[in-house]
Structure 1
């Protein structure tokens, strides 16, 4: 097992498969977020965000179909140098004991396997996303109903279609019954989907987890149930396969150019269109991911700049003022800082005068200030309110 960290052989590691599987979801989240930011300045992009499932499914269908057609790999697998190979099991028998051994052989993908692969990679995730949104809406509706109660007094849409004065009562009644039946059927379908989706989601996630665990333990060659249903293994591309990819793409495109029919001007227009499409598809993989990274980098750059502009300016603390000078007629300071300048003994209940900052014994400084109304060292005017007790010894 050893978690396949070494990466030897044609079998991809578990981490390579996990990264390739998570790339489409990460890419979709990045594209949705990018469009949401651009929509703040371009309101027409909100229409794209309203149909983000369809937009992303169409984009991935083009990318997956092109990647499977040219490289026999999905969009994310081709970025990691992986290829899909059809599994063929051959049975061999020994001449001595006539025991059969199974040997796995890999070959290129067939056309129907590519089509089904696109369905597994694009259509099934799209359906799952739609079911998930329906489940969320139904759950929110149930929560709202439990909080506020059912609202059955709503207005029927059929009442606004026909004028009651110009229509017969039977027509209005029939339209109302038809509309109510359709609404009731739609609600039943939504309720069924909301009830079944958790089981479907749990089954899918459980199967995926089981396959991934077995793949990690080298018990199976299939990373997921979809690959097992297709009978496809994901393998590392060899150097020769990577070199042959460009020649294979050129052969496919040359055949497509040879099939062009029509007058010369029409062929020229078709060649220009095909060249634009080929160029877009060639740089779609790297360009799309590079654009997302560039956008995130620019967003971080401008966000940090805005934070710097909006953050309050922090100035460095001012330097401390110079110590007050000892007056000529004042009491000189003792050689040791722990002694009181008045009694020349170790300070008892040390206290400071706020006007000068010198420390004395509380009894000494209180008696001196009460009598002379000044600091004994600097001779600055002071009162007993300027005396502050120091509690650094506690």
Structure 2
């Protein structure tokens, strides 16, 4: 059930359907990333990124329409060798001994099914993306208002002009229309912010239910849209794959025969058709290459960022050289545990911070208090620079 590898039967596996469904989102991410990189050097491409939903919906409209017209499959389904077939249930009534039975037959897509397929593949995802954008903006505005307060109300409640109500009387009609439009926009955003989570949860729940039933062979429909249209997705036979090219050539020859006008106009129209055909023929290969290029660049930059963000462990620096002993200073004893001042074993060892040499606390405190310097190096020091050592080395 889970691993129908090898093309056995006409029913696609769950993994084939999932890959075909996730391809448009991967394609959009690849195109957005590529445009974002190019926009760093060509700033005019930022306008394309500002209308990302519209441009991607227009691109998918062209691709899905062309794919459904020529192969009876969506753009992503055609890449996996899948085809859409209309479901027809034929009821056969046999004699009384055999009883009655239902038989499911498949046929090609009708024109209205292709149009509705484009609606489910392009129009509905576009509106979903716009609703998601509006919901994110409303959520950010609500979070900002909860943290910082409503800036509009904060500034509107205070009258800085000192003119009382006179400042509100001189309101033009355009300002009123703008305020009405703004209030209507905010109201729509609030409605979307309240309703979108429930709509999104219901859509995702139905999608999960259909996918689970499809995985368990309880239904032949992978999604609610396919069930509403009465369409099964099947594997294309070898003959169908061979007939696709001849079918496309037949459609294009008919389109060329429909050209009307003088010879020069037909030549221009034929050249435009040839260019559009070439773009559509290589669109699948180019877009799939864009997806792989995006994944490769994502892996490359992610690994580079990980290398840059990884903490660098450097070897510890060598200790600084010890300060020189002054000629007029107290000489150091050969035993490091002996105090240079009292020539006895150190008691309560303490260090002078300016030099680093260790003495008895009582000895060095008296010396520094009187002479304001280190006994060995004669460097200026104060009693505040004496540090108690709790572990004598």
Aligned to 1:189: 188
| Cα contact 1:3–1:216 (8 A) shared by 2 | no
SS in 1 for 2:131: helix
Greater shift in the superposed pair: 88-97 or 220-229: 88-97
CA RMSD of aligned residues (A): 2.9
The number of aligned residues is 303
1:25 aligns with 2:34: no
- The answer to whether the 8 Å contact 2:92/2:103 transfers is yes
| Unaligned stretches of 5+ residues in structure 1 | 157-168, 315-394
- Alpha-carbon offset, residue 182 of structure 1: 2.4
How far off is 1:93 after superposition? 1.6
- Per-residue deviation, 1:176: 3.8
The SS at the match of 1:104 is strand
Do 1:85 and 1:109's aligned partners in 2 also have CA atoms closer than 8 Å? Answer: yes
The match for 2:257 is 258
Contact 2:91 2:100 in 1 (8 A): yes
Structure 2, unpaired ranges of 5+: 157-167, 314-393
SS of the aligned residue for 1:261 comes to coil
Question: What residue is the counterpart of 2:267 in the other structure?
Answer: 268
Which structure 2 residues correspond to residues 192-341 of structure 1 after superposition, within 5 A?
A: 192-294=191-293, 297=296
Q: Distance in 2 between matches of 1:241 and 1:129?
A: 35
Q: Deviations over 1:107-160 (max 9, x none)?
A: 00001111110110001000000000000000000000001111235889xxxx
Partner of residue 117, structure 1: 117
TM-score, normalised by the number of residues in structure 2: 0.71
Distance 1:176 1:12, change over 3 A: same
3-state SS of 2:83 partner: strand
Aligned-pair CA distance for 1:184:
1.7
CA distance in 2, matches of 1:89, 1:171: 70
DSSP 3-state at the match of 2:87: strand
Instruction: Tell me whether 1:179 sits opposite 2:178 in the alignment.
Output: yes
Shift of 1:7: 4.0
Q: Partners in 1 of 2:9 and 2:277 — Cα distance? A: 33
- Cα separation, partners in 2 of 1:113 and 1:295, compared to 1, 3 Å: same
1:52 corresponds in structure 2 to 52
Could you tell me whether the CA contact under 8 Å between 1:14 and 1:215 is conserved in 2? yes
Q: What is residue 72 of structure 1 aligned with on the other side?
A: 72
Deviation at 1:175? 3.9
Cα distance change, pair 174–145 in 1 and its aligned pair in 2 (3 A): same
Structure 1 segments of 4+ aligned residues over 6 angstroms from their partners: 298-311
**TM-score of the aligned structures, taking structure 1 as reference length:** 0.71
The 3 A distance-change label for structure 1 pair 307 and 175 is closer
Post-superposition offset of 1:302: 8.7
The match for 1:147 is 147
Structure 1 residues 150 and 251: alpha-carbon distance in aligned structure 2, compared to 1, 3 A threshold: same
Secondary structure of 2:95's partner? Answer: coil
Whether contact under 8 Å (1:77, 1:83) holds in the other structure is yes
SS of the aligned residue for 2:214 comes to: helix
User: How far does the alpha carbon of each residue in 1:341-368 deviate from its partner, in whole angstroms, 9 at most, with x for none?
Assistant: xxxxxxxxxxxxxxxxxxxxxxxxxxxx
CA distance in 2, matches of 1:194, 1:307: 37
Cα distance in 2, alignment partners of residues 155 and 223 from structure 1: 53
Aligned to 1:317: none
The whole-number CA distance in structure 1 between the counterparts of 2:308 and 2:104 is: 63
CA drift at 1:39: 1.1
Q: Distance in 2 between matches of 1:79 and 1:255?
A: 25
**Farther off after superposition, 112-121 or 98-107:** 98-107
1:226-252 Cα shifts (integer Å, max 9, x gaps): 000110000000000000001100110
- Alignment partners' CA distance in 1, 2:287 and 2:193: 35
**CA 220–295 in structure 1, closer or farther in 2 if over 3 Å, else same:** closer
- Residue matched to 1:11: 11
CA distance in 1, matches of 2:176, 2:309: 60
Q: Is the 8 A contact 2:33 2:294 kept in 1?
A: no
Could you say if the C-alpha distance between residues 174 and 275 of structure 1 is closer, same or farther in structure 2, counting changes exceeding 3 Å? Answer: closer
